[in-house]
Amino acid sequence: MLTYTKHTLVTLLLLAPLSSLNAANSAGKIDPEIAQNIDQLMQATGLKHVIDSFPQEIEAQIKQQKINNSNAALSDEESRLLFSHFKSDTIYRDLKRHLNNKLDRKSLSTLLKMHDEPLMKRIVAAEIAASSPARQKEMTAFISELRHKAPSETRIKMIQQLDRTSMSTESVIYIMEMMMLGMNEMMLRREGEGNDAKRRAQMQEVITNTTRLIEGELRQQIIMSMHYIYRDFTDAEVMHYIEQLKRDENQHYTRTAIEGIGIVILDAFKHGMNQLLQLRNAKAA
């Protein structure tokens, strides 16, 4: 799914005019009850927490671009302008609209009941807590210890299955690619090569090859982190979590959320790119 989504999104979103993106994103009114259910679901699944951390991730990407490619780097003014399109409330609003277009009442009801279970609440709370900077030192120490004292074979296979079922590694790689694509597309347009299909294809190939190179190591890091996140849960509890994530409604929700995040990221980059070009043209006039 992610491979298919990635290539279709990249082709359509990078070439589509902003007017069509905005029309697709705002299509259909959001029923107040459904809107409330989506809010509750995004909160219950931890997606709201993920979105809140996005601006920091984007800022880090922009700073890294300056380090990796000083010649094509953005000025401080341009960086601030681009960063202004990645506000968490805007991302949340646009992703909410995407979910509204993809989820029906029955699925929302099922998902909310599923995530209202005490165990599911404990698990999401543990996932959020583990992402706190204050926990990084503790996590690092736990993982270091894990290398010397491996979990049982059953636990190892269970956590690997959880990674696959939750699409954890795939979603991280996908979002990473969307960010890199957005940055590189912006550089192409700055250089006046925004309509160069060959350069764009080369760009996508480089990014895909880069993520392939790091996928194995990244998956291992994520799996090791998952051993820490779910350390206080029994095998039976983790298996119950896996079984819940396997359900069609949850799989559809996860795929839809990942797809939506990709759309929001590239849409924000397109808005930012247009404003950057306007700024440069105004200065050159």
- Provide the number of structural domains found in the chain: 1
Given a contact cutoff of 8 angstroms between Cβ atoms, the answer to whether 285 and 31 are in contact is no
For 206-221, the DSSP string reads HHHHHHHHHHHHHHHH
Q: What are 34-57's pLDDT values in tens digits?
A: 999 999 999 999 999 989 887 777
Tell whether pTM > 0.95. Answer: no
Q: Where are the beta strands (DSSP E) in 149-275?
A: none
Question: Please, what is the Cα angle at 108 between 107 and 109, to 5 degrees?
Answer: 90
- Give the pLDDT score at 36: 93
Choose the weakest-confidence range: 25-34, 75-84, 94-103: 25-34
DSSP helix/strand/coil, 141 = helix
Over residues 140-193, the pLDDT tens digits come to 999 999 888 889 999 999 999 999 999 999 998 988 888 888 777 777 776 665
Number of CB atoms found within 10 A of residue 75's CB:
12
Q: What pLDDT score does 274 carry?
A: 79
Reported confidence tier of residue 29, pLDDT bands at 50, 70, 90: low
Q: Are 94 and 25 contacting, i.e. CB atoms less than 8 angstroms apart?
A: yes
Residue 152 one-letter amino acid: S
Q: Which amino acid is at 173?
A: I
Burial 212-225 (b: 16+ CB within 10 A, else e): eeeeeeebeebbbb
Binning pLDDT at 50, 70 and 90, where does residue 224 land?
very high
Range of the domain at 42: 2-284
CA distance 43 to 130: 16
CB-based contacts of 101, cutoff 8 Å, min separation 6: 27, 28
User: Residue 104: which of 46, 37, 24, 21 has the closest Cα?
Assistant: 37
How far does the chain reach from its first CA to its final CA, in angstroms?
46
Q: Would the pLDDT of 108 be above 90?
A: yes
- Evaluate if residue 219 carries a pLDDT over 70: yes
For the chain, the average pLDDT equals 82
Say which range, 41-55, 62-76, 120-134, has the weakest mean pLDDT: 62-76
pLDDT attached to residue 4: 34
Contact present, 165 and 156 (Cβ < 8 Å)? no
